[in-house]
Amino acid sequence: GFDPPHQSDTRTIYIANRFPQHGHYVPQKFVDNRIISSKYTVWNFVPKNLFEQFRRVANFYFLIIFLVQLMIDTPTSPITSGLPLFFVITVTAIKQGYEDWLRHKADNEVNGAPVYVVRSGGLVKTRSKNIRVGDIVRVAKDETFPVDLVLLSSDRIDGSCHVTTASLDGETNLKTHVAVPETAVLQSVANLDKLVAVIECQQPEADLYRFVGRITVSQQTEEIVRPLGPESLLLRGARLKNTKEIFGVAVYTGMETKMALNYKSKSQKRSAVEKSMNSFLIIYLIILLFEAILSTILKYAWQAEEKWDEPWYNEKTEHERNSSKILRFISDFLAFLVLYNFIIPISLYVTVEMQKFLGSFFIGWDLDLYHEETNQRAQVNTSDLNEELGQVEYVFTDKTGTLTENEMQFRECSINGIKYQEVNGKLTPEGFTEDSPDGNRHSLMKEEELFLKAVCLCHTVQINADQTDGADGPWHANGIASPLEYYASSPDEKALVEAASRVGVVFTGTSGDSMEVKSLGKSERYKLLHVLEFDPNRRRMSVIVESPSGEKLLFTKGAESSILPRSKSGEIDKTRIHVDEFALKGLRTLCVAYRRFTPEEYQEIGKRLHEARTALQQREERLADVFNFIERDLELLGATGVEDKLQEKVQETIEALRLAGIKVWVLTGDKHETAVSVSLSCGHFHRTMNILELVQHKSDSTCAEQLRQLAKRIKEDHVIQHGLVVDGTSLSLALREHEKLFMEVCKNCSAVLCCRMAPLQKAKVVRLLKTSPEKPITLAIGDGANDVSMIQEAHVGIGIMGKEGRQAVRNSDYAIARFKFLSKLLFVHGHLYYIRIATLVQYFFYKNVCFITPQFLYQFFCLFSQQTLYDSVYLTLYNICFTSLPVLIYSLFEQHVHPHVLQSKPVLYRDISKNAHLGFKPFLYWTILGFFHAFVFFYGSYLLMGEDTSLLGNGQMFGNWTFGTLVFTVMVITVTMKMALETHFWTWINHFVTWGSIVFYFIFSLFYGGIIWPFLHTQDMYFVFVQLLSSGSAWFAIILIVVACLFLDVVKKVLYRHLQPTSTEKAQLTEAGSGINCLDSMCCFSDGETACTSVRRMLERLMGRCSPSRVNRSWSSSDPFYANDRSILTLSTMDSPTC
């Protein structure tokens, strides 16, 4: 986050802005309540955008060339570089302006939301952006808080309210906040209007869990001072639950709210491809400078001879003779620079921009990424990163709501050593069937009833206040309960209480200090004596109640590791086995136990508890001792298994990511055990993995020691896979001093799980990996506002449109509705975008080398007089018209492998990892190919046509323009055909633009050369093209040269494919063998199959005879696939009978 500039350490807030009347009071200045996530304003758009665009090497370079052309006499007109530059700048600016306008729209929606504020004795409706610090704001049930408020009062007498902070820290449970007693009684607008109070608190900071302040309330004559802590601060972005309305005073507004301070400022993300492009540009600049300097030197070397310096037909003027040598040299050098400048492709940037912008629509249109239940489709917020989706090496994911549905469901329980499941609202022991004689039991056995009562009493669940008891309570006449609406601070408890109520023991609420339970329609009232709260060290919670019969009971529930050792009776061993079985299924387990007290024991306990609770020194330690004294000699009742439902296909997705060579890290705010159990159930950790732990370290030294041991262990048994579990506190210690060691351990683990993480810690972990020496490409995916900083830090941020607000979606680069869509997004969209843009970039450099090298070679034949080979119209239009569309259409529609195959074989993703297609080797290949083709164009034309002069029917000679046009014609055809060779996926649009470009060139040339254009100052091209085409030998030369260029290319492709096919090319074969309708990815080539068999099978396939039974399910052993990949031949839902 950022620290706002404040002079003093505290701020003083006068409630309802009642400033003191006397004395010289200068009110502090506070920011308004607007949230700003956009980059530009109307005023700074033009200068800021231009500055950002000219930071790009190519744009800046073209600006310089344009200025040079304006200043000196150059061979080509300034329009040749000015026009394309203007076009590029405008298109890019429009695109970026549109994206920023969308951000403005989203901000305005938030800032313009209606809120109610208390002003001059009444409620006034205003917009969210108009709230000032000191205003009293009213918030109703289920609304989100528009600012950070200090709670003044609620509709409850005690001034308490319940809040869920899901969109801030990912916790869905209810938190209770309380107001100070002096203001809690002011429940009406009129009373609040009379309140005179001052709040002093710290200046804003990013920590969600810290708030220090005090409130001074003036009543009649005295001033009452009360402390304020985090329990009285309601944060912007949190939601009010289970409370009709609250009043609070705004303390932090706008960009100073804790939510906004937890955002990282949005920096411009740039993809790896763009970085490669810049380095290629620099190489080409060097080639350009080399060519220009060489030409200039050769020109002067040549002119050293008298006869060439001033031939008889070209005498110099006085002015030329007297001008200085150095100036002439510089101007010649600049002229060559301008002549060759087209080797740097300016339209590359605009084509890439268009490709990204238009290509991003495909993600939104993809029906596989559309989620029907919520009617949400994938959304693209930044189109600059499409190809980065194909380069991901690390995925950082949040757990709650991203991997899971965030809905707990009761699955099974173990009571008294017997396993039960819930069947149609009845507890059924395992092995019972409905129709067995005993299957239809209505009553519960004693142990079962006691167990369910324990579940119903030992919790902190509340009931929705709206459901008051009618005459019959919540029971209908037929004895079936209408479901009560429960609220709980932990979703597990809610699931358990709901399950108990379905089975027949219903918790119907608390009144005063008693809890009511209805067991099979019979109401019982238990008096609540003490609650021993849950804490992470004890890992259990207890209640002490007095039953209707007067005996004192203790009910305890908690993790098995904290309950079983303290139990002395009950089916301990059987329950332990059951708990392990539940955990293996990925259920969250809790054990339940109880203890009866004799009156003497109870008195002793009461006394000890009172002493510990009122102690001033070491209160925590004392309480812990007393709790341990109370919770012992327990009788075990049983255990429960609750499932946090994983989203569908999470396991398959994580497995697929792993096959694709992507490492998955789970970063969550959850408890250690929960996180581990979900990790196991979603396949992030395997059962066979060796799980290493780095948790609960308080000091630097122990943490370092543990890290060293882990590193040693990994070195010793490197055969098995390791998983690492880290918690927030240990992580911050590890990052402080021992980053290198920690990274070393992490990189050797195949899965890492970080639990108990604060939002900014998540971002720190991502940054740590991002900046490590290998510089891997990272992707973060999450659904709550607690994931925003991580989403903004990673190279690619993905928001999940979950239950937790839209914060993550608004700040992400891409948004999808479910985690399972990630595989399609990366393996299909990412893969295809990367291939498309990689080819696009290389091809652009290639066609510009083809374009300018003949110009360079031509200088050797024209005494380096800077004569251009091509007409200036051709120079301008080559990149804009003649060769631009085929490559743009290719970069939008190309699918070199069928998407279905890409998704079902995640291993293909490894083929493009680490920017493989834009490495130095492919770049070198394309560049050399460009030079080779250019030499063939030039010398081919020269040998075939240059020496024989009278090739026209009437005996006329060829001129230099005819020669240049011949080279240009051959070039346009070859370059377009080369693109056609690269294309695997032909649509009618591809055909149209490919052949259309060649036809357009011919029609344009005939038209351009067939008319005398009045506004051109030279008519060099008049009738040149028509004459060229009227010569038969010219046609012959064109065909011969084009074939010569492309023949070698085709041969190379064929040989490479047969001798050293990549796995992608094998997949293309698979797909080609799978015919038109039958796209089952299971039909792979079997070992030792001849070419004829594959042809035969293809014919059978085409004739519709593909029988699923004969489908051959084997990889060939030479495939570079990994041993464990054989299990997953297809992850898609496609079934073979569709053949």
Residue-wise pLDDT for 810-844, tens only, equals 788 999 999 999 999 999 999 999 999 999 999 99
Q: Would you say the C-alpha torsion 254, 259, 262, 266 has a positive or negative sign?
A: negative
- Of the candidate ranges 43-47, 245-249, 712-716, 1097-1101, the one whose mean pLDDT is the lowest: 1097-1101
For residue 548, how many other CB atoms are within 10 A of its CB? 12
- The CA distance from 1013 to 1000, in Å, is 19
Is residue 415 within 8 Å of 448, Cβ to Cβ?
Answer: yes
pLDDT band per the 50, 70, 90 thresholds, residue 512: low
Kindly name the residue from 135, 384, 398, 670 that is annotated as catalytic. Answer: 398
Question: How sure is the predictor about 170, in pLDDT bands with cuts at 50, 70 and 90?
Answer: low
Global model pTM greater than 0.85: no
The pLDDT value recorded for residue 907 is 94
Residue 1081 has pLDDT above 60, yes or no: no
Q: How far is 8 from 180, CA to CA, in rounded Å?
A: 26
- DSSP strand pairing (722-727 vs 222-228): unpaired
Which comes out higher in pLDDT, residue 746 or 220?
746
Q: Quick one: pLDDT at residue 1107?
A: 39
- Token digits of residue 1068: 């293309």
pLDDT band at 1126 (very low <50, low <70, confident <90, very high): very low
Q: Which residues contact 397 (CB under 8 A, 6 or more apart)?
A: 403, 664, 665, 666, 667, 780, 781, 782, 819
CB of 1057 closer than 8 Å to CB of 988: no
At 633, give phi and psi (nearest 5°): 50, 45
Looking at residue 208, what is its pLDDT? 78
Q: Does the structure show a pLDDT above 80 at 431? A: no
Residue type, 1128: I
Q: How far apart are CA 384 and CA 357, in angstroms?
A: 8
User: How far is the C-alpha of 1078 from the C-alpha of 528, rounded, in Å?
Assistant: 67
pLDDT at 522 over 50: yes
Query: Token pair of 1009, please?
Result: 């050369």
Residue 172 — very low, low, confident or very high, per pLDDT cuts 50/70/90? low
Mean pLDDT, rounded, for 344-348: 81
- CA–CA distance, 1133 with 1080 (Å, rounded to integer): 10
Question: Residue 391 contacts by C-beta under 8 Å, 6 or more apart in sequence?
Answer: 271, 272, 777, 830, 834, 912, 913, 914, 915
* Backbone φ, ψ for residue 206 (5° rounding): -75, -20
Please tell me the predicted confidence (pLDDT) of residue 1088. 40
Could you give the CA distance from residue 536 to residue 435 in angstroms, rounded to a whole number? 45
Residue closest to 399 by CA, chosen among 603, 672, 160, 128: 672
pLDDT tens-digit series, residues 928-983: 999 999 999 999 999 887 666 555 656 666 778 888 999 999 999 999 999 999 99
d(CA 73, CA 379): 51
Q: How confident is the model at residue 306 (pLDDT cuts 50, 70, 90)?
A: confident
Task: List, in sequence order, the alpha helices (H) in 433-544.
Answer: 446-457, 491-503
Distance CA 401, CA 300 (A): 73
- The pLDDT mean for the chain works out to 83
Predicted local confidence at residue 152, as pLDDT: 93
pLDDT tens readout for residues 733-768: 888 888 888 988 998 898 999 988 878 889 989 998
Q: Which amino acid is at 1135?
A: D
pLDDT for the residue 240 = 92
Q: Is 398 a catalytic residue?
A: yes
Task: Give CA separation, 575 vs 416, 578, 580, 637, in Å.
Answer: 8, 5, 9, 9
Residue range 283-292, pLDDT digits in tens: 999 999 999 9
Contact between 146 and 113 (Cβ < 8 Å): yes
- Quick one: DSSP state of residue 913? G
- Range with the lowest mean pLDDT among 52-61, 112-121, 148-157? 52-61
Phi, psi dihedrals of residue 875, rounded to the nearest 5°: -55, -45
141 three-class SS: coil
Residues 656, 1122: Cα–Cα separation, whole Å: 13
Residue 1054 in this model has a pLDDT that exceeds 90: yes
The neighbouring-strand residues paired with 124 are: 117
**Whether the predicted pLDDT of 490 surpasses 80:** no
pLDDT at 1115: 41
Report yes or no: 749 and 714 within 8 Å, Cβ to Cβ. Answer: yes
pLDDT value at 440 more than 50: no
Mean pLDDT of 297-308: 83
- Provide the H-helix boundaries in 304-370: 306-309, 318-322, 325-340, 347-365
Q: How confident is the model at residue 1033 (pLDDT cuts 50, 70, 90)?
A: confident
Give me the residue label for tokens 């804009």: 880
Structure tokens belonging to residue 24: 């010289």
* Summary count for the chain: helices (H), strands (E): 38, 35
Looking at the DSSP assignment, which residues form a beta bridge with residue 241?
A: 162
Residue 348 backbone zone (phi > 0: left; psi -120 to 50: alpha; other: beta) = alpha
Determine the Cα–Cα distance for residues 212 and 228; give it in Å rounded to an integer.
Answer: 6
